[in-house]
Chain A
Amino acid sequence: MGSPRTIIQRYNLGPLIGLLMIIVVLSFLTDRFFTISNLLNVARQVSINTLLGVGLTFVILTGGIDLSVGAILALAGALGAGLLGLGYDPILAVLFSCLVGLLAGTLNGTIVAYGRVAPFIATLATMTLFRGATLVYTEGRPIRAVAEGFNTLGGGYIGPIPTPVIITFMVVLLAGFVLTNMTVGRRIFALGGNEEATILSGVKTTRYKIMVYSVSGLLAGLAGAILTSRLLSAQPTAGMGYELDAIAAVVIGGTRLTGGQGGVVGTLIGALIIGIIDNGLNLLNVSSFYQQAVKGLIILIAVLIDRRNAAGG
């Protein structure tokens, strides 16, 4: 039913088509791109941004924004590494990073929901706060994170596939299931679509507002643990600017910044588009100065195409 254009709009196929086109073009431009080892490499590089993007998708679906995910990543990574340094079990350290992320996210959500502060301002403030806390804790120096087995989280493989890729994939599947098949997800969409109508339908929206920031924080914490594990140290400046790449992934993936529309599969595709462009430009030996500009342009084009389609529908 309907023209190809309406089908593309209905199932949000635009980002996927864009991704495939980029893959085809890069495959022709360099034969080093479409190899298993390179693709696995890209997948691993993309996993951190995807995790942050998935968390942000929850937040953005409610019409909010979370600028603090990069800072939470750094704080959670540093505190996890600190625990590891005290001789605790690696699994405990990872769980601790996740807990730190969860608590930081819950703080964001509480400020937004009960303090009635605009999400942009609230998370701008906490971003600075978490960054500062990280610097205080690390005294501005990297913290070594070496322990038996800890490296498998970020640097290991399950079969031929890097562990972070598998974890990220499972997170995307789980988040997608929650958003599309569970009452929680439906209420998050509803809240972003029309908060007042949702309250009137008997949904306690403050609860869900806090929840989305908690999810975002939790995934940032997990990303922090993965990054620390891969680098074998927690950097005080880790995750600097990651929030912007994550927001870009969400938006390229077709989630509306105004809330109510979108999903995590789109975000995964958006993160892949960004990661593959980075990778392709590297393989093509484009200078890193140009890389930034090209990436910016591609994001702009993606969003403009998306707007056109939205206006047409």
Chain B
Amino acid sequence: MELLEMQGITKEFPGAKVLNGVNLTIREQEIHALLGENGAGKSTLMKILTGIYPMNNGSVFYKGKEVHIKGPKQAEDMGIVMIHQEFNLVPHLSIAENIFLGSEKPFTTWGVVNWSSLVDASRTYMNQVGLKVHPKTPIAQLSVGEKQLVEIAKALSRKAKLLIMDEPTAALTEKEKEKLFEIMQSLISQGVSIIYISHRMEELFQICHRVTVLRDGRYIGTLKIPETNIDELVALMVGRQVTERFPKVNHQPTEVILQVENFSNRALVDVSIELRAGEVVGLGGLMGAGRTELARAIFGLDPVQGRLKVIGSGAANFSGRFHHPQEAINHGLAMVTEDRKDQGLLLPFSVQANLALPTLHKRSTLGVIERTKESEMTRKYIQLLRIKTLGPSQLVKSLSGGNQQKVVFGKWLETNPRILLLDEPTRGVDVGAKVEIYELMNRLTSEGLGIILISSDLQELIGMSDRIYVMYEGKITGHFTRENITEEAFMHCATGGVQWEAQGL
């Protein structure tokens, strides 16, 4: 029995056809994956389904009847609720208030809230998602995983029949993810259907029943999960065979170029690591283990005790601590941050302005920017990194995730770094662009750069690193080579089970 049928959906924006005859059929009690690279049209399709965008052509059938969804409110009334990747929760209000935000009416008399009935009603939905904290707890005190559960509880309170989840596991720990999957299963048994958007292939095979693939705004096909495999899906998404997901080439790491000695601060406990030229060093661990904090301390963003040494020729040599990113950059460091929208990019600015920012002085005389040099530089990186853009003046906020990330890489490459700190460089990036980023990393290491790679994707970490440090509660708890690491040993170290020093290191 079909719950939802979208047929021949077409959507045009001025100058671009973003959806072209797309079909999507969701059955009752089904978890249906929606797969495609960034820019393939997934989010546009979901915005049409939830009434945010009108469509130019096509028809939507819901529960067997043709419907015309005119706005998010109407979609919600019909039971179609979307949980966005960035949560829509008010941090200083309680769970209960957030769940019923905008629909408090049944719990009020003359506008005065009846707290106990609100709290009781919240408990019902919180139980359904297995959230075991007090309903009056402020959102700000919850973990990312718990916030996710609140969002789901909120959706359930709206009598959701069709739940759309956009990258729900992006920020979850392994444990939280497993819990989420259990809850999804139980929702299905209660009669809910779920549209699941994720770039993590393994998850689709763990939880989904069917998958619909989009590419460049076109409908490619719908497959049953048990009848397909990762390679086939990747090929459908990118339209070509991606031979290797992690095209790692082995380099010969040479001399040490970065030494971190006894770094300690609020989040770090006596951390020492080293990095060689031509090497990718992975930093693994769970969320909050201190990986990002270590990168921030190295880059001069957070105060830290201890010492670091940059070993190079002449002016690049350094011993001490950086107090501002400017010093780090001057000594050949660059950092691609975890959160590219808040920290990596100036979203409302052009590709050119973003690429130019760290190196403005290189293309200016007496403080006056030389525009021709700047646009030459911009064109160079658009070509080199294959950034899909309408031109140097396109605003980065209108680029896809992968292309945004390429802009971040471009701005740092222009600083001629010797040491690259990459914090979750492929998060929210589609498969095609991921491989391009991996290939770029390989090219850079072959040119003698050293890379520190932070990643929560264990396969990526193992696939791309020459050596891996594992962190737990601010400490280094494991140190492996690419050859001798196993997922088991990794998890032991990452969860504080054992200390592990790999043989021969």
Contact = CB atoms under 8 A, between A and B. Distances in A.
Interface string B337-351: 100001111111100
Interface string B342-373: 11111111000100111011001001110100
Interface in B281-319: 299, 301
Contacts of A193: 346-349
Interface residues on B, range: 20 to 34
Nearest to A2: B14
Majority secondary structure of chain A interface residues (helix, strand, loop or mixed): helix
A2 B16 CA distance: 13
Contact of A203 (B326, B345, B348): B326
B476 interface: no
A258 to B, nearest CB: 10
Given A181-B369, A182-B364, A182-B367, A202 B346 contact: no
A196 B326 contact: no
Contacts of B344: 197, 200
B325 to A, nearest CB: 5
A196 B328 CA distance: 16
Contact of A194 (B342, B358, B415): B342
A261 B348 contact: yes
Contacts of B368: 181-183
Contacts of A200: 299, 301, 325, 335, 337, 343-344
A186 B347 CA distance: 15
Nearest to A256: B348
B357 A203 contact: yes
B361 A194 contact: no
A260 B346 contact: yes
Contact of B342 (A184, A186, A197, A260): A197
A37 B113 CA distance: 65
Contacts of B371: 181
Nearest to A186: B360
B434 interface: no
A204 B337 CA distance: 18
A197 B367 contact: no
A198 interface: yes
Contact of A202 (B325, B349, B353, B369): B325
A187 interface: yes
B175 to A, nearest CB: 30
Contacts of A260: 346, 348-349
B342 A202 contact: no
B355 to A, nearest CB: 11
A3 B15 CA distance: 11
A2 B356 CA distance: 27
Contacts of A201: 325, 357-358, 411
B369 A182 contact: yes
Interface in A149-202: 181-184, 186-187, 189-190, 193-194, 196-202
Contacts of A202: 324-326, 328-330, 358, 415
- The list of the 5 closest CB pairs from A to B, nearest first, reads A202-B329, A202-B326, A183-B360, A201-B358, A193-B346
8 contacts: A182-B369, A186-B357, A186-B360, A187-B357, A194-B343, A200-B325, A201-B358, A202-B328
Interface of B: 14, 299, 301, 324-326, 328-330, 335, 337, 342-349, 353, 356-358, 360-361, 364, 367-369, 371, 411, 415
